[in-house]
Each structure stands twice: as C-alpha cells, then as structure tokens.
C-alpha cells in the first residue's frame, strides 16, 4: 500500500522572513533525505524549497521509526515550529494545488510549476524517486498545467513581477542584484514596463554581462533600455548613483546597510533569506519592501482571481483523487508514457534555458518549447504503438524476434 505524507510550511504558516530557519538548510535537508533512504527509513522523497515555501513529500512506510517525529527527522525542527501535514490523497491534493499556483503567495504565479518540476528532477538525480513518486510526477505536472490553462490562472503575476512594478516608482536609475531565474524575471518585467536605465549585478561578472547583452537586444518601451553589468564585489565597493535596487540573490551576508543607502528612494528584496539591514526602514526618504510586504500586496491582488481559484480548487480535488487512485493501484498506464516523454523533454529544455540557452528571447524560448513538446509527444506515441503491438502478439512470436 502506498503511504505518502507531505510536511512543511509556507507563507500562511509563518512570515516569509521566518522561513529562513528552513530555507537556509535546504541542502542539509536533502542530504538527510538521502541518508534516510540509504538506511531504509523512507522509500522516496521530494523537497520543494522556494522563497515562501519549504515542503517535503515523503514515501514512508507506516512502520518506519521516523514516522513518530517526521518534522525533526526530516526537516530538523521541533513540533513547536508551525507546520502543516497531509496524508495520502490529501498530500496529492495539496501538491497539485501548489503546482497549479492555487497555494502561492501570488495567486496563480507562473514560476511554481517549473519549481515543482525541478524538485522532482533533483529528487531523481539524488536517487530519491520511488515508483509512486515517479507515477505522481508524470500525472501531477500535466494536471497542473491543464488547470492553469483552463482557469486562466496564467494571468497572475509572479513575486518578481510584483517587486519590479513596486521598484519602478523609485526613479529611472535602477539595479537588479542577482542574475538567476528570479532576477531575470524581474528584469523582463522592467523592460516591458519601459525602464530605461538598468544595472545588472551578479557575483560572476560574465553572467551579468551575458544577461545584459540579452536584455539590451530586446524591445523595451518608447525608449531603448540602457543595460549595464557589474560584479557584486565592485558594486558593494563603489556603488554608482541609483534611485532603486531590487535584490534577488542568495547570500548569508547583509548586502545593504543605512550607510550604503544614500541617494536611494526605494529598495525591494525578494531574497530568501533577506539581505537587507533591518535599520534601513529608519532611513528618512527611503521606502523598503521585502517578502513580508509583498505578501500583503499579493493578498489584495488575489481577490481578483479568487473566483477562478475557487473553480480551480474544485477541479484540482477531482484530478488529485483520480491521480491517487492510479498510484494506489500501481498499474502501468501506457497513456502516461506520453506524459513522461513530454515532461522529461521539457525538463531538459528548462535546464538548457537556465544555462547555455539563456540568451534566447522569450518568443524564441516559447517557439522552441512548442516544437520540442510536439516532437516528444509524437516520439512517445511511436513507443506506445510498439508496446501495444508486442502485448497483442503471442509470447513465442516475441521471443523469435
């Protein structure tokens, strides 16, 4: 019998700033999961860690010794830490709502589906995928994508978009610190909103320069966008005159204090943990916005999509229950071979877009995604046809091949 349990916490349980207790230990938690798998204490696990969520989906037998205290055994925190827990079918319902954006701080946000997919991919790379988790992945991601498309949840804004829109009021001279996925999303919003002067800062100068070259070649608003690049070390040592800064970087250190904030009018931080000195809120004339503040903004905007979300939640429950029955039955479903091919191909494309193909324009990325999905789906159908043909032939005929 399949035993799935989901434990974790998100922005509804604790303020995003308090999630750092767990998010800072993401790699340690993954190492612990690998250790528990090797010890036979669990059969499989997927860890989802974002700026406002840390959750572990566990395939663990009810007789396992760690079931008596999963929070401490897996996450390393006591029962006093605010957590939620879902068992069996309820864990699948919750994760499907998460993947569809129904449980996001920004309702319907677009990033979470890719983050869930990458969480499964990382689990596979670490040898943490059990058969039920493999079956769940092929069904869950496609169901989440269908729910988003059917209910118009793709119209929602991401956390990066909220932060970028808030920053625009600072003035024309802006900087984005962090050239990762979140920083790139924020830069894309700034470009589409007509920002004209943006500095991209990253620990590795070459990555900042590559992203700056990409952004400079994209259409902006009425005026072309002047995009420059700078290393983080140079930025911290001699910051150029700026009106506003957006931080989207992982760092154990504070990157901005009151002395270094002179001349700024707005600073927004979507890093986890925060890289801002708390004393910045006392600087006259400086407005500060962090994940806690964005959570309040997002809550107001969520009312617009609430009706669509309510419909999506009902549909998600039905889809999740059907997925759970499939997993419980443990029966192979050839129709899912198609989903597996497509999801694997798109996962590889997402990895390439974050790496060697990150220079591609958004339209080119989407066109490539459509072509790859079509090719993967057609290739999968050939495999299914061959398998069904073999199933229909006598055993002796198959053996003679």
Strand partners for 85: 7
Intrachain domains 4-155+303-331 and 159-296 with the same fold: no
159-296 homologous superfamily: NAD(P)-binding Rossmann-like Domain (3.40.50.720)
Q: Report which DSSP code applies to 324.
A: H
**Strand 244-247 to 197-202 pairing:** unpaired
**What is the token pair recorded at 323?**
């997925």
Q: Where along the chain do its domains lie?
A: 4-155+303-331, 159-296, 335-401
Q: Which long-range contacts (CB under 8 A, 24 or more apart) does 73-78 make?
A: 73/32, 73/36, 73/41, 74/7, 74/29, 74/32, 74/33, 74/36, 74/45, 75/7, 75/8, 75/22, 75/25, 75/29, 76/25, 76/28, 76/29, 76/32, 77/21, 77/22
Query: How far is it, in rounded angstroms, from Cα 191 to Cα 197?
Result: 10
What is the CATH code of the structural domain delimited by 4-155+303-331?
3.30.460.30
Q: Which of 91, 108, 104 is nearest to 147 (CA)?
A: 108
Show pLDDT as tens, one digit a residue, over the chain (401 residues).
Answer: 678 999 999 999 998 888 888 888 899 999 999 999 999 999 999 999 988 899 999 999 888 999 889 999 999 987 778 999 999 999 999 999 999 888 888 777 878 888 998 999 999 999 999 989 988 987 898 888 888 877 666 555 678 888 999 999 999 999 999 998 889 989 988 988 889 899 999 999 999 999 998 887 655 444 678 999 999 999 999 999 999 999 999 888 999 999 999 999 999 999 988 999 999 999 999 999 999 999 888 877 666 667 667 777 888 888 898 888 888 876 555 555 666 667 677 767 766 766 677 666 666 777 787 888 788 777 776 666 665 655 555 544 444 44
Tell me: cis bond preceding 273? Omega within 30 of 0 counts.
Answer: yes
Query: How far is it, in rounded angstroms, from Cα 10 to Cα 5?
Result: 16
Strand partners for 56: 7, 47
pLDDT recorded at residue 355: 65
Chain centre to alpha carbon of residue 211 = 20
Chain centre to alpha carbon of residue 377 = 24
pLDDT recorded at residue 145: 83
**Strand 197-202 to 226-231 pairing:** parallel
Active-site residue numbers? 51
Query: How far is it, in rounded angstroms, from Cα 201 to Cα 268?
Result: 15
């Amino acid at each position: 019998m399949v035993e799935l349990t989901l434990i974790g916490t998100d922005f509804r349980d604790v303020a995003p700033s308090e999630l750092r207790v767990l998010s800072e230990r993401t790699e340690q938690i993954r190492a612990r999961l690998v250790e528990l798998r090797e010890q036979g204490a669990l059969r499989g696990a997927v860890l989802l860690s974002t700026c406002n969520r840390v959750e572990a989906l566990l395939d663990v037998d009810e007789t396992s010794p760690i079931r008596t205290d999963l929070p401490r055994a897996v996450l390393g925190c006591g029962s006093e830490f605010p957590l939620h827990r879902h068992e069996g079918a309820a864990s699948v319902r919750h994760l499907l709502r998460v993947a569809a954006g129904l449980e996001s701080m920004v309702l319907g946000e677009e990033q979470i589906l890719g983050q869930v997919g990458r969480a499964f991919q990382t689990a596979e790379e670490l040898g943490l995928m059990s058969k039920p988790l493999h079956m769940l992945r092929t069904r869950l991601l496609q169901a989440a994508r269908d729910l988003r498309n059917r209910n118009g949840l793709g119209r929602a804004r991401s956390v990066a978009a909220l932060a970028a829109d808030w920053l625009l009021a600072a003035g024309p001279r802006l900087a984005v610190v962090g050239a990762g996925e979140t920083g790139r999303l924020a830069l894309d919003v700034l470009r589409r909103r007509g920002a004209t002067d943006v500095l991209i800062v990253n620990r590795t100068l070459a990555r900042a320069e590559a992203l700056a070259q990409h952004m400079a070649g994209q259409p902006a608003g009425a005026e072309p966008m002047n995009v420059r690049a700078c290393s983080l070390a140079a930025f911290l040592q001699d910051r150029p005159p700026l009106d506003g800064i957006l931080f989207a970087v992982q760092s154990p250190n504070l990157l901005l204090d009151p002395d270094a904030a002179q001349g700024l009018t707005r600073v927004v931080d979507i890093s986890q943990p925060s890289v801002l000195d708390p004393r910045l809120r006392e600087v006259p004339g400086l407005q500060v916005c962090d994940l806690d503040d964005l959570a309040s903004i997002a809550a107001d905007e969520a009312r617009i999509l609430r009706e669509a979300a309510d419909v999506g939640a009902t549909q998600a429950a039905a889809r999740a229950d059907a997925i759970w029955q499939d997993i419980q039955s443990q029966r192979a479903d050839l129709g899912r071979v198609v989903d597996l091919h497509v999801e694997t191909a798109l996962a590889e494309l997402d990895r390439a877009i974050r790496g060697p193909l990150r220079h591609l324009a958004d339209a080119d990325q989407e066109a490539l995604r459509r072509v790859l999905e079509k090719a993967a789906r057609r290739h999968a159908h050939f495999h299914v046809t061959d398998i069904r043909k073999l199933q229909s032939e006598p055993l002796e005929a198959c053996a003679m091949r």
